[in-house]
């Protein structure tokens, strides 16, 4: 981690940074984290206390001088917290989500309750559902704002923070909310936190997110199975046919072959930003994926397709029969620059050309659009310089998160650049049992954000946006 400020020669900025670190190390921060995790905000549970969670969060923002308003869009609750300090100051939009995936009780190690913050003293890890995705990251940013207000007497900029409760199910209503609030917020840029750093101890910035589209492929040949001895070799097997169809979508090393699913090139600025980076904590296969690209480029600047599930027959109790049908779920992750409206048509054309016209295609689940702020945008460079100033280490700048977020709503609906500063790490077990973060990450992250908020408070719009 970066060097801590020298208190005997502290600047006001140093004071804010040190205060953020101290608050995040205090027992009160742990209690605040425990309170957030205790809300069982499983987005798939219709009885989850989503509104109660937002009411609790609103109290925290209110204590910092924010005005708060709750509202509903498409049946899902939202909270907008606003602090306006001057028409001549930049306006920053923050974003967080308080919903989570299911708790998965009974599957956590050592009998841990997913909705109770627990600490492993041997590893220094804090466990609890939502600590990484996204309750803990929101608390870090609130702590940083609190520290800047205490040290400066103000933020130095106008701030809106939008908290939603449906990100894990595709952010229903978020686009409408941003359309409705665009003029009121007047945001110049987004500064938000979600997703992982490239490593727990490496400050990271990412500027967008790959899009995501999921397709269910189904091939049904008949009703009921047929004896594999009496019919084998003379009757079409939909499982074999579907396997061949899916195999045709990539090379043997996993490089995409579907026309319309492959980008033209990695932008030079993105290639430069990713040079020398080892992604995903090093857990990658260097010989897998598109040829001529590094693993980092394949994850953060290219497209990939994965089989999420494949079904034919009964794998637990196979019988001597040719299955009557087969199904598979294939997911495409993609960067900006391809025709997003024709992804299904491109897959249809590919399968038809390969002789698999009988396979049915259905798009399933929410669609996330690809979006990203350019690596060389002034806002990205400003944020990187700020994190470098605090940590004495230039952060990694990723063109896109490997996963998907509703980033496109901010870039397209609000028309603003987006800078994400994540406070998690690849091994956090989000969306799985034993979700956790290292205890030591919180003071470091709060210090970085306090420095960034402080610097924004002393900047002009042209410093952040150029021109």
Give the CATH number for residue 361.
3.30.70.360
Q: Tell me if 417 is assigned to some domain.
A: yes
Residues 195 and 215 placed together within one structural domain of the fold? no
Q: Tell me if 184 is assigned to some domain.
A: yes
Residues 435 and 342 placed together within one structural domain of the fold? no
Q: Provide the CATH number for the domain around residue 118.
A: 3.40.630.10
In terms of phi and psi (left: phi > 0; alpha: psi -120 to 50; beta: otherwise), the region of 243 is: alpha
Q: Give the pLDDT of the chain (467 residues) as one tens digit per residue.
A: 344 444 445 799 999 999 999 999 999 999 999 999 999 999 999 999 999 999 999 999 999 999 999 999 999 999 999 999 999 999 999 999 999 999 999 999 999 999 999 999 999 999 999 999 999 999 999 999 999 999 999 999 999 999 999 999 989 999 999 999 999 999 999 999 999 999 999 999 999 999 999 999 999 999 999 999 999 999 999 999 999 999 999 999 999 999 999 999 999 999 999 999 988 767 889 999 999 999 999 999 999 999 999 999 999 999 999 999 999 999 999 999 999 999 999 999 999 999 999 999 999 987 889 999 999 999 999 999 999 999 999 999 999 998 888 999 999 999 999 999 999 999 999 999 999 999 999 999 999 999 999 999 999 999 999 97
Q: Tell me if 415 is assigned to some domain.
A: yes
Place of tokens 């034919």: 312
Q: Tell me if 113 is assigned to some domain.
A: yes
Place of tokens 């919903």: 99
For 158, other C-beta atoms within 10 Å of its C-beta total 21
Cis peptide before 134 (omega within 30 of 0): yes
First to last CA, the chain: 34
Q: How far apart are CA 424 and CA 398, in angstroms?
A: 15
Cα separation values, 240 from 24, 136, 314, Å: 55, 46, 15
> Could you give phi then psi for residue 264, rounded to 5 degrees?
-75, -45
Residues 158 and 200 placed together within one structural domain of the fold? yes
Residues 181 and 282 placed together within one structural domain of the fold? no
- Quote the domain boundaries for residue 66: 7-209+370-465
Total residues belonging to the chain: 467
Q: Tell me if 2 is assigned to some domain.
A: no
Q: Tell me if 36 is assigned to some domain.
A: yes
Residues 362 and 378 placed together within one structural domain of the fold? no
* Closest C-alpha to 243, from 356, 360, 348: 356
Residues 381 and 323 placed together within one structural domain of the fold? no
Residues 359 and 377 placed together within one structural domain of the fold? no
Q: How far apart are CA 324 and CA 248, in angstroms?
A: 22
Residues 190 and 215 placed together within one structural domain of the fold? no
Q: Tell me if 1 is assigned to some domain.
A: no
Residues 138 and 262 placed together within one structural domain of the fold? no
Q: How many domains does the chain have?
A: 2
Please state whether beta strands 304-312 and 204-206 pair in parallel, antiparallel, or not at all (unpaired). unpaired
Contact in structure between 39 and 139 (CB atoms under 8 Å): no
Q: Tell me if 83 is assigned to some domain.
A: yes
Q: What angle do CA 163, 187, 170 make, to 5 degrees?
A: 35
pTM of the predicted protein model: 0.89
């Amino acid at each position: 981690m970066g060097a801590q400020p020298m208190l005997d020669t502290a600047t006001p900025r140093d004071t804010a940074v040190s205060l953020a670190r101290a608050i995040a190390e205090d027992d009160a921060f742990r209690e605040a984290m425990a309170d957030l995790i205790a809300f069982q905000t499983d987005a798939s549970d219709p009885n989850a206390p989503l509104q109660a969670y937002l009411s609790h969060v609103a109290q925290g923002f209110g204590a910092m001088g924010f005005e708060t308003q709750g509202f509903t869009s498409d049946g899902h609750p939202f909270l907008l917290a606003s602090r306006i300090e001057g028409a001549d100051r930049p306006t920053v939009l923050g974003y967080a989500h308080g919903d989570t995936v299911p708790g998965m009780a009974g599957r956590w190690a050592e009998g841990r309750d997913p909705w109770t913050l627990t600490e492993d003293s041997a590893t220094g890890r804090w466990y609890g559902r939502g600590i990484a995705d996204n309750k803990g990251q929101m608390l870090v940013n609130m702590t940083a704002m609190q520290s800047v207000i205490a040290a400066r007497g103000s933020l130095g900029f106008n701030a809106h923070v939008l908290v939603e409760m449906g990100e894990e199910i595709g952010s229903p209503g978020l686009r409408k909310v941003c359309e409705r609030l665009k003029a009121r917020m007047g945001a110049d840029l987004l500064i938000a936190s979600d997703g992982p750093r490239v490593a727990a101890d490496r400050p990271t910035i990412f500027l967008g997110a790959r899009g995501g589209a999921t397709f269910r492929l189904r091939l049904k040949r008949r009703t009921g199975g047929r004896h594999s001895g009496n019919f084998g070799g003379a009757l079409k097997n939909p499982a074999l046919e579907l396997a061949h169809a899916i195999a045709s979508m990539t090379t043997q090393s996993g490089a995409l072959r579907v026309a319309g699913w492959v980008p033209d090139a990695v932008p030079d600025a993105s290639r430069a930003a990713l040079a020398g980076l080892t992604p995903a904590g090093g857990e990658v296969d260097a010989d897998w994926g598109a040829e001529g690209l590094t693993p980092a480029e394949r994850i953060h600047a290219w497209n990939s397709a994965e089989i999420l599930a494949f079904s034919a027959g009964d794998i637990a109790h196979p019988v001597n029969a040719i299955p009557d049908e087969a199904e598979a779920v294939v997911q495409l992750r993609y960067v900006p620059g391809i025709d997003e409206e024709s992804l299904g048509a491109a897959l249809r054309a590919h399968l038809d050309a390969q002789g698999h016209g009988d396979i049915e295609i259905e798009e399933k689940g929410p669609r996330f659009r690809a979006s990203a702020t350019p690596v060389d945008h002034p806002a990205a460079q400003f944020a990187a310089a700020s994190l470098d100033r605090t940590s004495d280490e230039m952060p990694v700048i990723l063109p896109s998160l490997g996963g998907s977020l509703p980033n496109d709503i901010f870039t397209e609906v609000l028309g603003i650049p987006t800078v994400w500063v994540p406070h998690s790490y690849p091994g956090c077990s989000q969306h799985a049992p034993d979700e956790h973060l290292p205890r030591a990450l919180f003071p470091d992250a709060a210090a970085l954000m306090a420095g960034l908020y402080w610097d924004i408070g002393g900047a002009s719009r042209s410093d952040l946006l150029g021109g």
